[in-house]
Structure 1
Amino acid sequence: MLVNYTYSPEGDLLAVRHRHGEVVREFEWQEHMLTAHRVPGGMEARYTWDRLAPEGRVIAQEETGGQARTYAYHPDHTQVTDSLGREERYHFTGTGPGQRWTAHTRADGSVIQYRYDEAGQRISTVDPLGRETVLERDEDGQVIAQVAPDGARWAITRDALGQPTVLAGPENLSWQLERDERGNLTRVTGPEGTTTFTYDNERLPDRPTAVTDAGGSAHRMEWNALGQLATEIDCSEQRTVYEYDCHGHLLAVTNALGETTRYTHDEMGRRTATQLPDNSRWQHHHDLQGRLVEQEGPRGYRQQFHFDAHGRPVLRIDADGGREHYAYDTAGRLSELTLANGAAYRFAYDEMDRLASETGPDGREQRYAYDVAGQLVERTEVSRPGSDGQALTIRYDYDASGRLAARHLPATEHAEAGTERYQWRADGQLRGASNAHGEVRLAYDSAGRLAGENQKHHALDDDAAWQWQHQQRHTATGAHLASRFGELPELAWHTYGSGHLHGLSAPGLGLELALEPDALHRETQRRLTSVGQPQPLILERGYTELGQLDRLSLRGPGSVQDEQHYRYDALGRLSFRSAGQGGTSPIIAYTYDPAGRLIASQHGDSAHRYPVDAAGNRLEGTATAQSDNRITQLNGARYRHDGAGNLIEREQQNGDRLSLGYDAANRLVRLTRTSPQGTTQEASYRYDAWAAASPRRYVTPTALPPPPTTAGTATVSFTKPRMNNAPPWSMSRAVSSPCSESIKPATTGQSRSAPTSPTLWARPCSWSHPRARPYGRPSPTTGRQ
């Protein structure tokens, strides 16, 4: 028995109980009409009817917490009014079976319209801006095409049973689908090739037993008697095994290395414990509604969660006792978030429940405006004035299909006004972007995968215009096959199976990088060879049972092996780094507070302390909290910020001063360093239209600190001061996202590690965003600022 139902003598449902007898839902009735239902200890809703009869209609609804709605019925529409006084109207035509919902007038007065054919089937939707999306149907009423407002058409061809056999879209994209006599999908043929599905289990004829991708690699599955996945066998014959209890709950997962994660469940099927491969154990506690209310881990770790009657989180208590509070308005929207250090963020909404403003603990206020279709059209930095003294407002334009067409940036003290424009293909993929500094164009292959990028940058001051391009070819499965970056020779990507990276080679440069994987396809050895060098450079790495980096070893021609070992505490935090045989790096130990924040490190005989408040902000001296979440002083340096929270000045104890200026998008555009002797160095940065759309790698200027970690491509120029009457010189470089170590096609979402030299020894990016981390959070690898 799964559930048990309790009825009144009149036959009305009173309660639902699970198989162990616990009530999970209760109901109240009057004249067989539902008047209330509730979750014990949770939400309750009550209904008022115009008459207690089968033809009666609800005229009022009240919920726990004060939310309420009233309903007024008219011949051609129904009016709904909520507890905030907002009105919506649902318009209808016809009567009885022929009645159709034709329009929806929303709380802001905007109207969505619905159109129907003679058979009463919906054939189009018109949004408040008049943009129409059309549905085409066959004689059986099945959808066979959808036409977007810009005319882009996606078509579906169906067989006699109504199953899709062909999907065709813009840009000549097309897929053919084949099925067996049971209707199981057996073959999909598209621009990238053919994927086949095999069904060899007669007891479970709807479960695929093998999937062979377009490259010929097979992935096999085995199922238990209940139809649950029991074994996965990947393209390299590596097995992952799943075990279940008699109720079908997952008991254990064992990977290809024999590492097992085990699970325990209660009688309701809720997970109560997780045992990781290193035998560390986590406990999970739930309330009667099945919500996670507490989890306990090794070393006394404990985190608690509290909910209101509507099931919304209202309090989180971390392992250090820090409390994070969540408050909601009468419409159930998050209105205030208070961090453990007392810093509060406040949110306000418009009549359509869209975020209208947010105010941070530092006083930064941002406002948002939308058009009648719900598209963001303005974002205003209320606390940051532009060059005209007015609050900075960024404006957005959209095309007929609702895709971003332009972003208009106002002028600031340090940057001119500008517009970034975006162009799209008919299938919805980005075709290109441009601004006053240049343009970027993207090319795709026949399968719609990113195949090339061409950048053109206009001249900057005395520097000539320049351009750069990148071409990319893919395997049938979408993995990288070959790349060409600018004028460099072609880079070949070597993959196996379903696309796992096995190596790279650049014959034109005489370089080859071989990668050796383990059974989980993780890199265990990186071997770099080059022409003229008889011995390779070899980097080896090992892993813990939890997948953490355990060991790094580097050896090369004529050099002593350099080795590092890493240890972790029971909560998975890096606690110790030591040098192994031949290693020269210092031994470092790390200490964390109960909430998992790094608070100290020991570098040999040198100790470092990193005091933080309850929200993780670094503290100076005897300070106990940064309630505005801004660092104004740390390690003797003073920091100033603008109204948007951007760092605009840093002054060291010795008088060295760094001044920073930003554009309307809060990107660094000007940087000036003034030495204690009064000499200055300046740098300016400009960005292409990608903004956060195209991750690449920064090249660090040698004379100045690097730009902030704002994604997008920037061009940096700086001038070195004249010394001894020597002529000045300048330099320009393309710079981009600093922490990127991969090439990521926007269309496939697949990421392949790119070789880097020298090896970074798992050291994270050390650049700091001036606004978010002016103090430079200590690296868990180096422990330094």
Structure 2
Amino acid sequence: DESICVKISSKLQTLSDGKTLIKGVHHCRYDYFPDSYTEVHDSTRTTYYQGNPLGLLDKTVIGGSVSTVDYREDGFVMAETNELGHTTVYTRDSRGRVLSITGPLGDTTHYHRDGAGLVVAMTDAEGHTTDLSRDERGNLLTIQWPDDTAESREYDTRGLVTQVHAANGASTRLQYDGHANLTNIAQPNGGQWRYEHDGLGRRLSATNPIGAQTTYSYTSRGDLVALRDAIGGTARYSYDGDGQLLQYHNPKGAITKLRWAGLHKLVARVDANRNVVLMRYNHEGELVRVINEAGEQHQLHRDMVGTLTGETTFDGRELRYRYDLAGQVVRTESGAQDWTDFSYDAAGRLIARELDDGTEETFAYNARGELIRAESAAGTFRFERDALGRTVREAQTLRDKEHWVDVTFDANGERIRRTTSLGHREEVLRDAMGARTRTLLDGDHEVTHSPDVLGRETARTLANGGRIESHYDPLGRLSKRLTYDTREQRRPTPGQPDWVGKLAPGAGTQASYRYDWDGELIGVHDTLRGNTEYQYDPVGQLLAMVPEQARKELFKYDKRGNLAEAGGREESRVYGKGNRLERKDDTHYVWDDDGRLIEKRTPGTDGAEDEVWRYRWNGAGLLEVVDRPDGGQVQFKYDPFARRVSKTLYLRQHNGVLKAREHTRFVWDGDVLAHEIYLHADAAGDPIVEERTYLFEDESFVPLAHKQGGRWVHYVNDQIGTPERLIDEGGAVVCEMRRTAWGRVEVVAGATADTPLRFQGQYADEETGLSYNRWRYFDAEGGRFTSADPIGLHGGQHGYRNGVN
């Protein structure tokens, strides 16, 4: 890794003027002409600027795109016209302060000012007004929102905020030292945050309300060189003379090295396993190539203005992008040459998406630019919004059947009620910090919550006395989770490690968690499962999961991070270019040109036919059809936001015709499920409809409970929010799940409930063996996704795996 360098081409190159030799990165030539006309040449383009007598810019021309600005005589901007001819207009007072902004579609926002010119009211394009009051120094005192809620602030003589009074009446107090450094925050629930600073204003320590302290150390230049957490783990950092990070030592001592070149451009990253990733740039400092640990390249193709026009990925996919004159994407082409066309209104909002398979999605907005309607082949989706723009009703219509979810907010903007078209009702009480203290489900199922001073739930008491208790370590990680069963007392498990401690009296189950210095889980003790130990390599890749009551799982990795089982069950895996799995033991995988799995084939035994699964994808790149080895078929439909709205299982009849056997309709509450409606037939062929209602933690994918058949069951989750078991309202375990390292679940015999929820955001389909994960599907058997990450390099270099561990 010490030999890493930046290769510079020796070929003579010129700037866009065709005559000036390039001398290095960001080299530009400026040519000035009469009448305020200027040309700027860099390595990729020439930009033309037309000024005016005021010394201001009237017109900019880049590669045929023209944008203009209009001024009044004193030089204030009165109108801006973009490259597509869409104009935004400003009105101003005599001193040039903005009074209104009118967008290209005529939507206007008004600003009302006091005698000093400070804004005292804003009226948006929907006619909703926010009022502001100020003191004689201009400090903001109150904000009156359009929904008639208000918050206020108090200041000291220096103009520093000392109190904030929320709309629900809760107050937060702030204190400062003589240099205006924040030293204390007092929460509405009494919790105290304390901060220390040095003479230069750098933070030396932060102590949270439970006493956990983080300390910081710096160089004389002010670079952070050490961060010590509340349990003594220390991360260390070193820098070069330009203040660029060179090395990071995690609390376990593993070292990550960074190399820089040019003008602060990262050119190499060396991980703790000494694997190297390289980055390369053009003369304008734009990233054009990433070289992974195996020497494979991801190339980024750019036009003359630096816009990304295409990518050649590690696995060979050729992606293409086209733009309009304003730089908005108007077409994308996948590696399989499927295209998607995008249309926009004059305000730049997406109004239509036409897909290669002939389908179209359309979008409509209110005057403020908030989405109020979306339509696709699957159905129509409407959003009603309040004066603050929050969604208060979402109506989802499929085949003329509408289901809706209504939401009510309190003065602080926290949810306090949810009702749905299926008769479900959730009512929530919250404390001054917004944490749940009581949840009433469907009018008769009460759950009480006990939050700590940080707002974390420490206990949840269920309707019939059952209880879930959670404990946290000083770093906020789950250290222990217990359930209390009103009908049973379990004794401590023989042979449990000392670090577990004594089992709480009356506890039905207890899971205790232990972590290493870098936060990796290294041990779990569960009263029903015994001990499980975990081991990792220096970069955090899981090497071993060793449960006391199940088969141990051992793993190894190639330099790109592709896994294979090791140890007693060493499997053979073959990975192709860009980390695509081609073979796992005797199972072969076939991918299309866009990195999507299209076939999975396992040889039959004793002369039987091969077991073949085939996968088909829609124009949006979402899994649409799965053909099963038994001749059956599973079909999926999605809304324009990749939320799956239906799943249908077809079985092949004796005459070869496919007949619908099961159908599931999904009703969404934002990004999480609210309901699933399962239609199937009994043995006599009579239709049966089953409904399930879900409850999740606030703004989270972590499940709390679900209701089916009139019974609520509650989730007992592990340290990352994955369901481990379900309990009834009395605390009795009604479903116990054993999970492999990569999420394959086995339900222990005797369960009277179940759940398809897996890792956060995943929904397991027993019909396919895959888990739906919004834009992709996850294969827990192989520990990988069945399509490449749609966000590309933003999701990391490995487009198919489910994270490091």
**Paired residue type of 2:307:** R
Residue in 1 aligned with 2:455? 521
Pick the aligned partner of 1:132 from 60, 81, 87. 87
Pick the aligned partner of 2:426 from 491, 502, 524. 491
CA contact (8 A) 1:213 1:498 kept: no
Q: Deviations over 1:298-327 (max 9, x none)?
A: 332111111103101001111111111101
Q: What is the distance in 2 between the residues matched to 1:468 and 1:105?
A: 50
Structure 2 portions without partners, runs of 5+ = 1-5, 7-18, 490-507, 566-570, 605-609, 675-697, 706-712, 723-758, 763-770, 786-801
Q: CA deviation at 1:285?
A: 0.7
Q: Deviations over 1:699-729 (max 9, x none)?
A: xxxxxxxxxxxxx233111123447999955
Q: What is the distance in 1 between the residues matched to 2:584 and 2:471?
A: 38
CA contact (8 A) 1:662 1:668 kept: yes
Pick the aligned partner of 2:215 from 258, 262, 267. 262
317-326 or 81-90, which deviates more: 81-90
1:354 to 2:307 alignment: yes
Q: CA deviation at 1:607?
A: 2.2
Residue in 1 aligned with 2:510? 563
Q: CA deviation at 1:330?
A: 2.3
Q: CA deviation at 1:777?
A: 2.2
Q: What is the distance in 2 between the residues matched to 1:626 and 1:279?
A: 43
Q: What is the distance in 2 between the residues matched to 1:397 and 1:634?
A: 43
Q: What is the distance in 2 between the residues matched to 1:641 and 1:739?
A: 32
CA contact (8 A) 2:321 2:329 kept: yes
1:755 to 2:704 alignment: yes
* Secondary structure in 2 matching 1:628: helix
CA contact (8 A) 2:468 2:716 kept: no
1:120 to 2:75 alignment: yes
* Secondary structure in 1 matching 2:364: strand
**Paired residue type of 1:563:** Q
**Paired residue type of 1:424:** Y
Residue in 1 aligned with 2:553? 608
1:243 to 2:188 alignment: no
Q: How does 1:25-64 map to 2 (within 5 A)?
A: none
Q: Deviations over 1:71-115 (max 9, x none)?
A: 221223434343435211111233xxx344211111x21100111
**Paired residue type of 1:733:** T
CA contact (8 A) 2:258 2:266 kept: yes
The change in CA–CA distance for 1:617 and 1:478 in structure 2 (over 3 A counts) is same
**Paired residue type of 1:135:** Y
The change in CA–CA distance for 1:740 and 1:759 in structure 2 (over 3 A counts) is farther
Residue in 1 aligned with 2:58? 102
Residue in 2 aligned with 1:536? 465
427-436 or 296-305, which deviates more: 296-305
* Secondary structure in 2 matching 1:717: strand
Pick the aligned partner of 1:191 from 146, 171, 174. 146
CA contact (8 A) 2:428 2:436 kept: yes
Residue in 1 aligned with 2:33? 74
CA contact (8 A) 1:64 1:309 kept: no
Residue in 1 aligned with 2:635? 684
Q: CA deviation at 1:625?
A: 6.6
Residue in 2 aligned with 1:146? 101
Q: What is the distance in 1 between the residues matched to 2:420 and 2:466?
A: 24
Q: How does 1:593-672 map to 2 (within 5 A)?
A: 593-604=537-548, 606-619=551-564, 621=571, 627-654=577-604, 655-672=610-627
Pick the aligned partner of 2:477 from 529, 548, 551. 548
Q: CA deviation at 1:616?
A: 2.0
The change in CA–CA distance for 1:615 and 1:775 in structure 2 (over 3 A counts) is farther
**Paired residue type of 1:716:** K
311-320 or 299-308, which deviates more: 299-308
How many positions carry a matched residue from both structures? 662
Percent identity reads 24
**Paired residue type of 1:503:** R
Q: What is the distance in 2 between the residues matched to 1:667 and 1:436?
A: 14
CA contact (8 A) 1:103 1:113 kept: yes
Q: What is the distance in 2 between the residues matched to 1:776 and 1:87?
A: 51
Residue in 2 aligned with 1:588? 532
1:311 to 2:270 alignment: no
Q: CA deviation at 1:572?
A: 0.7
562-571 or 113-122, which deviates more: 113-122
CA contact (8 A) 2:353 2:361 kept: yes
Pick the aligned partner of 2:348 from 399, 402, 409. 402
Q: What is the distance in 2 between the residues matched to 1:727 and 1:113?
A: 60
Q: What is the distance in 1 between the residues matched to 2:176 and 2:184?
A: 7
The change in CA–CA distance for 1:335 and 1:738 in structure 2 (over 3 A counts) is farther
CA contact (8 A) 2:122 2:130 kept: yes
* Secondary structure in 1 matching 2:704: coil
* Secondary structure in 1 matching 2:252: helix
Q: What is the distance in 2 between the residues matched to 1:105 and 1:630?
A: 44
Q: Deviations over 1:436-458 (max 9, x none)?
A: 22100001122222110111112
Q: Deviations over 1:614-646 (max 9, x none)?
A: 232224756697542101112442211111001
Q: Deviations over 1:180-220 (max 9, x none)?
A: 11211111111231111012x33x3x101100011111111
CA contact (8 A) 1:634 1:775 kept: no
* Secondary structure in 1 matching 2:129: strand
Q: Deviations over 1:153-203 (max 9, x none)?
A: 11111111111111111222211111111211111111231111012x33x
Pick the aligned partner of 2:436 from 501, 511, 517. 501
139-148 or 630-639, which deviates more: 630-639
TM-score, normalised via structure 1 length: 0.80
Residue in 1 aligned with 2:401? 466
The change in CA–CA distance for 1:279 and 1:115 in structure 2 (over 3 A counts) is same
Pick the aligned partner of 2:164 from 211, 225, 234. 211
Q: CA deviation at 1:431?
A: 0.6
CA contact (8 A) 1:588 1:601 kept: yes
The change in CA–CA distance for 1:644 and 1:726 in structure 2 (over 3 A counts) is closer
651-660 or 619-628, which deviates more: 619-628
Pick the aligned partner of 2:648 from 717, 720, 727. 717
CA contact (8 A) 2:338 2:619 kept: yes
The change in CA–CA distance for 1:773 and 1:615 in structure 2 (over 3 A counts) is farther
Q: Deviations over 1:551-574 (max 9, x none)?
A: 111122324411111111111101
Residue in 2 aligned with 1:577? 524
Structure 1 portions without partners, runs of 5+ = 1-40, 42-59, 385-390, 412-416, 459-464, 530-534, 692-711, 744-748
The change in CA–CA distance for 1:740 and 1:550 in structure 2 (over 3 A counts) is farther
Over aligned residues, Cα RMSD in angstroms?
Answer: 2.9
CA contact (8 A) 1:263 1:273 kept: yes
Q: What is the distance in 2 between the residues matched to 1:305 and 1:727?
A: 57
Q: CA deviation at 1:486?
A: 2.1
301-310 or 760-769, which deviates more: 760-769
Q: How does 1:324-343 map to 2 (within 5 A)?
A: 324-343=277-296
Q: CA deviation at 1:609?
A: 1.7
Q: What is the distance in 1 between the residues matched to 2:309 and 2:380?
A: 33
* Secondary structure in 1 matching 2:454: coil
488-497 or 144-153, which deviates more: 488-497
Residue in 1 aligned with 2:227? 274
